[in-house]
């Protein structure tokens, strides 16, 4: 298939591209390159790129595409809070525009990178795909509204699928340090402290980007009836953790570090556990393999091999999406709407 990956130069996208190629697919990208100065260890693979902002996409851009894997978005809550209207402009309205253009262009499958964050403050139950939405951020709310818009577009010729990913972690050539497992492991190695920003009690489902990528490819290759207009929580039911449990795993893997709490650490309202039984039993070919323990070991070894320092990991903006965007704005490279000044 000819597959468009939006956000192919981002954290997950850079590793999605070679996996798709290894599975025999032709890959085209769509990415404005906000994070082109954020390489970790190596640059992304080069693929043809549709050189347009997602907010300006037209059906003509998508002629000949068989499937869209839509990863592009303002990728976390702090970045979303930079300007909440931007989250809606890009994550919501940009995604709907892309989907409508894809349908008009004859694209058959549209695989949307949604998020378990749409469950928000979830209580003590394990939440499956029928659970009520309770978002606590603009990011989570935007994911809900895109799913609802895609449902209205679904028909015999256009099959959307909603991939509600758990909180991601893992090594990538466009590393992110602003997600919990990557962050705790990097802090431990470079400072000797596993630094908790909350009181450590909230529950969070966690998933390695390798398992996310595997799930997307499973949907791409699944029979239409198995994935048409379906939502799947992506992760493993056994991989729900309290953040303090993650901190303890990091302390076990990284030598000579101790668990500590950041000044003012308090409870986090993002607190939920998720069931992944549907994907584990009903998504053909889906066999997740990573655990947080093996992911922390992978991160620690990669960080150590790269000679990562506190200056690189903690102080520099390279691996923090919000810091990177603010830096580009301060240098006059992008404007307040995150558009490049040509």
53-81 pLDDT, tens digit per residue, is: 999 999 999 999 999 999 999 986 666 66
Structural Rg of the chain based on CA atoms: 19
| Residue 339 counted as domain residue | no
Phi-psi region of 180 (alpha: psi -120 to 50; beta: other; left: phi over 0): alpha
Q: What is the structure's pLDDT at 342?
A: 75
In the chain, the number of structural domains is 1
75-110 pLDDT tens trace: 866 666 678 889 999 999 999 999 999 999 999 999
Q: What is the structure's pLDDT at 124?
A: 75
Mean pLDDT confidence for 246-257? 96
Residue-range definition of the domain harbouring residue 133: 2-330
| Residue 191 counted as domain residue | yes
| Residue 173 counted as domain residue | yes
Residue of 153, 48, 25, 28 lying closest to 101 (CA atoms): 153
Alpha helices in 109-204 (DSSP H): 138-153, 180-191
| Residue 342 counted as domain residue | no
Q: What is the dihedral of CA 6, 9, 14, 19, to 10 degrees?
A: 30
Q: How far is CA 140 from the centre of its chain?
A: 12
State yes or no: pLDDT of 149 exceeds 70. Answer: yes
User: What sign results for the dihedral spanned by CA atoms 216, 222, 224, 226?
Assistant: negative
Q: Domain with 292 in it: what CATH number?
A: 3.40.50.720
| Residue 16 counted as domain residue | yes
| Residue 206 counted as domain residue | yes
- Model confidence at 223, in pLDDT bands (50, 70, 90)? very high
Q: What is the structure's pLDDT at 260?
A: 86
| Residue 156 counted as domain residue | yes
Measure the CA–CA gap between 118 and 164, rounded to whole angstroms.
8
Measure the CA–CA gap between 33 and 25, rounded to whole angstroms.
23
Residue of 43, 106, 31 lying closest to 70 (CA atoms): 31
- Bridge pairing between strands 67-70 and 240-242: unpaired
């Amino acid at each position: 298939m000819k597959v468009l990956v939006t956000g192919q130069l981002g954290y997950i996208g850079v590793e999605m591209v070679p996996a798709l190629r290894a599975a025999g697919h032709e890959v085209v990208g769509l990415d404005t390159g906000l994070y082109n100065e954020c390489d970790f260890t190596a640059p992304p693979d080069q693929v043809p790129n549709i050189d347009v902002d997602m907010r300006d996409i037209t059906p003509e851009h998508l002629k000949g595409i068989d499937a869209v894997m839509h990863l592009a978005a303002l990728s976390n809550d702090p970045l979303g809070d930079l300007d909440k209207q931007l989250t809606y402009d890009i994550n919501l309205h940009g995604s709907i525009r892309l989907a409508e253009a894809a349908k008009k262009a004859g694209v058959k499958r549209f695989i949307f990178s949604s998020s378990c964050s749409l469950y928000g403050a979830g209580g003590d139950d394990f939440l499956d795909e029928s659970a009520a939405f309770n978002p606590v951020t603009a990011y989570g709310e935007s994911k809900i509204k895109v799913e609802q818009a895609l449902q209205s577009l679904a028909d015999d010729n256009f099959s959307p699928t909603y991939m509600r990913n758990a909180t991601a972690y893992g090594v990538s050539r466009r590393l992110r340090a602003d997600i919990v497992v990557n962050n705790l492991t990097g802090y431990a190695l470079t400072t000797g402290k596993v630094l908790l920003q909350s009181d450590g009690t909230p529950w969070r489902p966690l998933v390695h980007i390798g398992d996310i990528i595997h799930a997307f490819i499973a949907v791409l290759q699944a029979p239409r009836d198995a994935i048409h207009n379906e939502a799947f929580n992506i992760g493993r039911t056994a991989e729900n953790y309290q953040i303090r449990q993650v901190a303890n795993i990091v302390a076990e893997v990284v030598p000579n570090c101790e668990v500590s709490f950041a000044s003012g650490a308090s409870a986090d309202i993002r607190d939920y556990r998720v069931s992944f039984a549907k994907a584990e039993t009903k998504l053909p070919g889906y066999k997740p393999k990573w655990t947080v323990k093996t992911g922390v070991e992978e991160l620690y070894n990669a960080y150590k091999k790269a000679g990562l320092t506190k200056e690189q990991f903690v102080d520099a903006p390279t691996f923090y999406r919000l810091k990177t965007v603010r830096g580009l704005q301060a240098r006059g490279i992008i404007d307040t709407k995150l558009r490049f000044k040509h």
